[in-house]
Structure 1
Amino acid sequence: MDDIDKKILKRLQENARVTISVLSSEISLSMPAISERLRKLEAAGVIKQYTAILDPALVDKQLMAIIFLSIDSPSHGESFTKFVVDEPDIKECFYITGDFDYSLKIITQNTSSLEALLNRIKEQPGVVKTQTIVVLSSIVDRPSVTVE
């Protein structure tokens, strides 16, 4: 990946709907060259997808929480993974080191929907311990990694 690819990626992160024509003029490269670079970045998996980033508050998702949890055996990992994938309010799930096995980022409507989700989590086979932290405000929330 060279500096031109990085410029393309940075511009796409600002606005994924930017046209090839605009990219071409901003980066001073022909439209076919920009198209080819985009195709290569997509084929290599550098660009995973193009998406719209929604404002949670404007789509009735007023509460963010982090849930740490432990399971009693790695044999429950596969069923827990399936559960997590099927829960729409679980935005991120990480298998982690330390006192807990998983960290979940939750974005949900309110405390009632958080309570219902937490109860579903606690019902999962092998879940033995949870700790829930409610997020008061978000300081930095970058939807993607930055390119240097």
Structure 2
Amino acid sequence: MDCIDLSILKCLKENSRQTASMISQTINLSVSAVIERIRKLEARGLIQQYTVVLDEKQLGNDLTVFVSVRLENPRFGEEFAKEASAHVNISECYYIAGDVDYLLKIVTDSSRSLELIHDDINGMAGVSWTKTLYVLSTIKNDVSILPEEIA
């Protein structure tokens, strides 16, 4: 990957709906070259997905929390990860090192809904402890981070 690829990625990060023509004007490269480079980035798996970032509050999801989860034993990890991945309100799940085993990001509409989700999590096999941190406001929420050279 070179600086031209990084420039293309920066354009797509700002707006993944940009046309190759728009990108070509921004980075001074032919449209066909931009298209070819994007295809190569997709084929290499560097570009994994084009998506939309939604305003959760406008969707009625006014509550975001992070839940730390400790399991009784590592043998429960695979089953826990499968259940967490399938839960509709768990938007992110990380297996982490430290005092806890997993960190979950949960987005929901109310404290009552959170209570039910929390019951679901505590009912998952092997869960021995949880700690919930409430998000008061989001300062930064980047989906992907580009190398510093052009960011």
Smaller-chain TM-score range?
over 0.9
The reply to whether residue 118 of structure 1 matches residue 95 of structure 2 is no
| Paired amino acid for 2:93 | C
1:82-93 paired onto structure 2 within 5 Å: 82-93=82-93
Q: Please give the alpha-carbon distance, in whole angstroms, between the structure 2 residues aligned to 1:19 and 1:113.
A: 40
Q: Which residue of 1 aligns with 2:136?
A: 136
C-alpha displacement at 1:119, in angstroms? 0.2
State the superposition RMSD in angstroms: 0.9
Q: Please give the alpha-carbon distance, in whole angstroms, between the structure 1 residues aligned to 2:7 and 2:98.
A: 38
Aligned residues: 148
Q: Please give the alpha-carbon distance, in whole angstroms, between the structure 2 residues aligned to 1:113 and 1:37.
A: 45
> For structure 1, which runs of at least 5 residues remain unmatched after alignment?
none
Kept in 2, the 8 Å contact 1:63–1:110? The answer is yes
C-alpha displacement at 1:89, in angstroms? 1.0
- TM-score, normalising length: structure 1: 0.96
C-alpha displacement at 1:147, in angstroms? 3.2
Q: Please give the alpha-carbon distance, in whole angstroms, between the structure 1 residues aligned to 2:42 and 2:100.
A: 35
C-alpha displacement at 1:79, in angstroms? 1.1
Deviates more, 1:33-42 or 1:72-81: 72-81
The reply to whether residue 74 of structure 1 matches residue 74 of structure 2 is yes
C-alpha displacement at 1:71, in angstroms? 0.6
Give runs of ≥4 in structure 1 deviating > 2 Å. Answer: none
| Paired amino acid for 1:58 | Q
Q: Please give the alpha-carbon distance, in whole angstroms, between the structure 2 residues aligned to 1:19 and 1:97.
A: 41
C-alpha displacement at 1:8, in angstroms? 0.5
Kept in 2, the 8 Å contact 1:9–1:147? The answer is no
| Paired amino acid for 2:70 | S
> For structure 2, which runs of at least 5 residues remain unmatched after alignment?
none
